[in-house]
A and B are shown apart, each in its own frame.
Chain A
Amino acid sequence: MKSRNGPGVFLLAVILLAALFTGGCSDTFVVTKDGKSYFFGSKREGFQKMLCDSGDLKIILADTQLPSNLKGDLYKYNCLAAEHSKKKVMEIYTSMTPEQRRDLRLTFQKHGYDINYMQC
């Protein structure tokens, strides 16, 4: 039996591969643990389970030296459904000092996560 979708499927595959090559790896603002990666600030269930429901983000933030308002905002915009905002998380990240970002990165790593790095 011949497939009538041959050229269409081929074209779709080419488009998907081109998209992957040109832009699929470019966004690295993710948190990773045990081979699972989610965009920081993601609304996906996996992200919520891994960082929010597990209590890990709360523990990680408590372990940093970040100001309490910054800890509260990072938790709120990542984990509270009503306040959830990836855009706000990114704004906080860029507004932090290099020392604060270093503190956050090292604390994530201390707790078995990697942050802002995705190899695809």
Chain B
Amino acid sequence: MLFVPLIISFIAGPLFAGVSGPAAPDFTLADVHGKKVSLSAFRGKVVILTFWATWCGPCVAEMPSLNNLYQEFNSKGLVVIAISVDPTEQSVLSFIDRKKLAFPVLMDKNKEVYFDSYAVMGLPTTFIIDKNGAIIEKIMGEQEWASPKMKEKILNLISGR
């Protein structure tokens, strides 16, 4: 019985899209250029937090649509943060350059945020966090981020509906 709330809020997250969940654990990580970035700095904005790696096929496949979504909605209040669990910056920097990713990419080489704070079990795993810092959805696997349905969801979150 102890696991029921966790299953509801994390594993079956998408079934409860739009319902505020647990607070997203705060973290501070360096981006690929060494600049420190904290999740709490984006309070008041809708955050898509995705865990990925350059060796993960589904992660690589969904990055262009995530980049498109970010570029379309960033000025309206959407933040995308990608946390890479690659062991070095080199392959990540090369990927960012090739795909022209516009959002910040942070490095979690020791898997402190990935394993300890967010208990991620597969890649890609993405958390949608509302303006109050609550996790409202956990999505495991590749998504089409620039789909009309996803855009509508993000717009609703941004406008607080």
Contacts and interface: CB of A to CB of B under 8 A. Distances in A.
A101 interface: yes
B51 to A, nearest CB: 9
A91 interface: yes
B95 interface: no
A105 B115 contact: yes
Interface in B37-62: 53, 55-58, 61
9 contacts: A20-B57, A21-B58, A26-B124, A91-B3, A93-B119, A94-B119, A102-B116, A116-B111, A116-B114
A21 B124 CA distance: 13
B65 interface: no
Interface in B99-153: 111-112, 114-117, 119-124, 140-142
Contact of A91 (B7, B58, B120, B142): B7
A37 B139 CA distance: 25
A5 interface: no
Contacts of B61: 21-22
A6 to B, nearest CB: 27
Contacts of A42: none
A29 B123 CA distance: 10
A94 B116 contact: no
A3 interface: no
A117 B141 CA distance: 16
Given A20-B57, A26-B56, A101-B116, 6 more contacts: A22-B58, A94-B6, A95-B2, A105-B111, A116-B121, A119-B53
B10 interface: yes
Contacts of B142: 22
The contact size tier of chain B is: 20 to 34
A64 interface: no
Interface of A: 20-29, 90-91, 93-96, 98-99, 101-102, 105, 115-117, 119-120
B11 interface: yes
A23 B58 contact: yes
Given A95-B3, A98-B116, A28 B123 contact: yes
Top 8 nearest A-B pairs by Cβ distance? Answer: A102-B116, A21-B57, A29-B121, A91-B3, A98-B116, A27-B122, A101-B116, A26-B122
A117 B111 contact: yes
A117 B85 contact: yes
A23 B123 CA distance: 9
A98 B25 contact: yes
A29 B121 CA distance: 5
B2 to A, nearest CB: 6
